[in-house]
A and B are shown apart, each in its own frame.
Chain A
Amino acid sequence: MASNERVERLTLADLRPDQQAEIVRIESQDAVFKRRLTSLGVVPGAPVVLDRSAPLGDPRIYTLMGSSLGLRNSEARNIQIHLK
């Protein structure tokens, strides 16, 4: 199962403006960071779309659980998604 996922591992940082996605998991060892994201609604199954990017392409704003969440790309790369 793990190897299967690695083949087409997609993260929030790969999300394009026209795509709809769902959170799969947060792949971070940092428990504080993980809990912080979790409490903001970054949980498995949550639908997410890209709202917009900052002028230099980083950070980006996502719409999730009805609110706007700004995340750096380096952080978004830890959040695995799958497209819908």
Chain B
Amino acid sequence: MTSPVIVALVGNPNAGATTLFNALTGAQEAVANYPRVTTEIASRDIVHRGIALRIVDVPGIYSISSQSPEEQAGCDYLHQQEPHLIVNILDAGRLDRSLFLTTQLIETGLKRVTVLNMVDEIERSGTSIDTGMLASALGSPVVETCGLRKKGIAELLDAIVDSVQAPAGAPVRLHYDSHLEQSIVRIQDHLARLHPRQMEPAHSRWLAIKLLEGDDRVIRAESDHAPLLEAVQKECADLAHEHDEDTATMLAAARFAFSHGLLREVRTQSSDPTAGFKLTRVLDDIFLNRSLGLPLLLGILWVMFQTTFSLGAVPTEWIKSGVAVITEYATATLPEGMVKDLLINGVLAGVGGTIVFLPNIIILFFFMAILSGTGYLARASFLMDRLMHHFGLHGTTLIPMVAGFGCNVPAVMATRIITNKRARLIAMLIAPFMNCSARLPIFILFAGAFFADIAGTVVFAMYMASIGAAMLSAVMLNRVIPGSGGDAFVMELPPYRLPTLHSVLHHMWDSAQGFVAKVTGVILVGSIVIWFLQEFPRDIAFSQDFDTAIAQLEEQPDSPEKDESLHILKATQAQEKLEKSYLGRVAITVSPVFQPLGFSWRDTAAILTGFVAKEVVVATYAVIYAQDKESEGLSETLRAAMPVSTAVAFMIFTLLYAPCLSTIAIIGRESKSWGWAGFSVGYSLAFAWALAMIASRVGDLFL
């Protein structure tokens, strides 16, 4: 078995590499009309005409020598791996820019196939390319494709196999200005002396050009040849002196001049080359309108939320009743005992209580797919960038923050659209502050109990507080987290495109799968653990013999008094049981930490269980105060149990403290670091504590 031929798909971001990758291999990678979607390298093996090929989807790059973090993966791949063949994907409508990378690829001396993708878009504007002439100028076969409609795929596969089998053709050479050429030759001579008879002239020319261009990776590789690097520096200094321009820019200008000249020969444009993008202009006149743009963005987000929750409510009800049916069935059929208890009060309560959010998640991701697939997302970031910049955030951060109101888990996943690593990390760390729907019941309960007259306003204030906390954190994290970058807003705006049904469905399916995996993993385990902590130890030494007392009461004739006493007795027993359970003991141990905030051990227990999922906080209160959570009673009990200022502090604390288990897990997964997940917990706890402290002190003064 021979190893497969490595075929790397290389092109500018958004040129359609992933679409072609999927078309070539039948894979289902995520596609979005948004530059730089591919951040991890995907590869897949196929066989064409008996030749085994390994197709690699290299993340988009604008230049081989790029140092921008978002192009890192693609550049590293090209420098570290030696693909047998490069399939250079060009966006046919943006040849002026995309041929720049081609000129660099030519110099690598690797075998190439050139793809003119998105020919449908240039055909619409009446542009045509003389592919024969282009092929001879670039020294590679040229194939026209429309990845979206899978046109030209068979031709591309044939061209790939033909190139693999053919001997290497005569190399094409770009000619630079005579001063540059002289410098290149001098560096080549230097290289030849360093590695006598080892280096092909084409390779040493490439190395010389990269050194003069200041390619970090090549310079690092040659770092033990100090005299060579000194010679390069001298050449650059001389050139800069002579031309009043740095060498990298001179080389880049020459590359663009080459492609400009080439396009004049091979491209026939209609009188209006932008005709194919008329729709984009019209839509931008609306969506980027100076007075309409921001209101429209807000409107779109509002519709997205509204639909996510209202449309989601219907299937959520179905799932709820499904869970109820299962619970009922389990209650009726299972033999009494611990297993039954665990299944019903642990597993079914925890997992069932979370899976109900599945419809919301799927709908949210439907909108995200539409927003990113059409190219509107790039516009939204453009519109918001100015405002977000005040807080050290990139315009793009808007999207995960918005998603966070639904659930922090998709919010953290949505940070994938932020390509700068550090900016993405900050977005991930502030996303959990967004007031997700799981926290809403807490605020509804507390606002109703303590601020009955202005409950709605208080709930809205919590939303505003969550945005404020996220922004404040962004400012602080920007100071603390080392490194820089992510500041520059250099962004290409793609034309509007209609997302394919397939890619939208794929986004939704992906998110659903991820969510179900989470529910069956972390949530399942978490629920079981919490249940054990609440239930054990079993052999509690109660202060009185509750069971006997209850049994005696039950014997007596029915009366309102009997029900009342029974209720009290059972409640007292439940409370004492909780107090002496592991959870209660832990809460009592931890509670000194929260003493300054005025929280009792019961509040502490609610906070602790909220780590699993914030939904559990209200449920815990209900258990602790042995009340039905729907009843008026819980509000009253709460009001009696803590002063208003403590209630405010508690609301602030639960709004901000530690992300729930699922969010912690997702932060760990997405940042590829449990360290950052841990940091997120520690940081948000400290932040929540501090703000709750301030709130309780201020509350003491005014309330």
Measured CB to CB, the residues of A under 8 A from B are 1, 25-26, 31-41, 43-46, 52-59, 61, 65-72, 75
Residue of B with least CB distance to A56: B386
For A52, A55, A59, A65, the residue with the greatest tally of chain B CB atoms inside 10 Å of its CB is: A55
Q: Which 4 A-B pairs have the closest CB atoms?
A: A39-B63, A39-B62, A65-B96, A68-B493
> Is B66 interfacial (CB-CB < 8 Å)?
yes
**Known contacts being A32-B67, A45-B253, is A59 close to B382, with CB within 8 Å?**
yes
Tell me the complex Cα distance, A32–B214, Å: 11
Q: Which of B36-44, B198-206, B244-252, B588-596 lies at the binding interface?
A: B244-252
Number of A-B contacts (CB under 8 A): 122
| B residues in contact with A32, CB < 8 Å | 67-68, 485
Residue of B with least CB distance to A61: B493
**Known contacts being A43-B249, A71-B490, is A36 close to B97, with CB within 8 Å?**
no
Tell me the complex Cα distance, A34–B333, Å: 71
Residues 411-444 of B at the A interface (beta carbon under 8 Å): none
CB distance from A36 to the nearest CB of B (A): 5
**Known contacts being A55-B290, A55-B293, is A36 close to B493, with CB within 8 Å?**
no
B62–A65 touching, CB < 8 Å: no
Tell me the complex Cα distance, A38–B490, Å: 11
Question: Can you show 30 pairs from A to B with CB atoms below 8 A apart?
Answer: A31-B67, A32-B67, A32-B485, A33-B488, A35-B66, A36-B490, A38-B248, A39-B63, A39-B66, A39-B100, A39-B101, A41-B100, A44-B245, A45-B253, A45-B257, A46-B256, A55-B293, A55-B386, A59-B382, A61-B288, A65-B256, A66-B93, A67-B97, A67-B492, A69-B491, A70-B382, A70-B491, A71-B489, A72-B389, A75-B488
CB distance from A2 to the nearest CB of B (A): 8
A53–B290 touching, CB < 8 Å: yes
> Is B189 interfacial (CB-CB < 8 Å)?
no
**Known contacts being A32-B68, A59-B382, is A52 close to B491, with CB within 8 Å?**
no
A55–B62 touching, CB < 8 Å: no
> Is B603 interfacial (CB-CB < 8 Å)?
no
B488–A54 touching, CB < 8 Å: no
| B residues in contact with A45, CB < 8 Å | 253, 256-257
> Is B179 interfacial (CB-CB < 8 Å)?
no
B93–A72 touching, CB < 8 Å: no
Q: Write the B233-267 contact mask toward A (1 if CB under 8 angstroms, else 0).
A: 00000000000110011001100110000000000
> Is B95 interfacial (CB-CB < 8 Å)?
yes
Tell me the complex Cα distance, A67–B389, Å: 24
Tell me the complex Cα distance, A44–B387, Å: 32
Residues 488-519 of B at the A interface (beta carbon under 8 Å): 488-493
Tell me the complex Cα distance, A70–B380, Å: 12
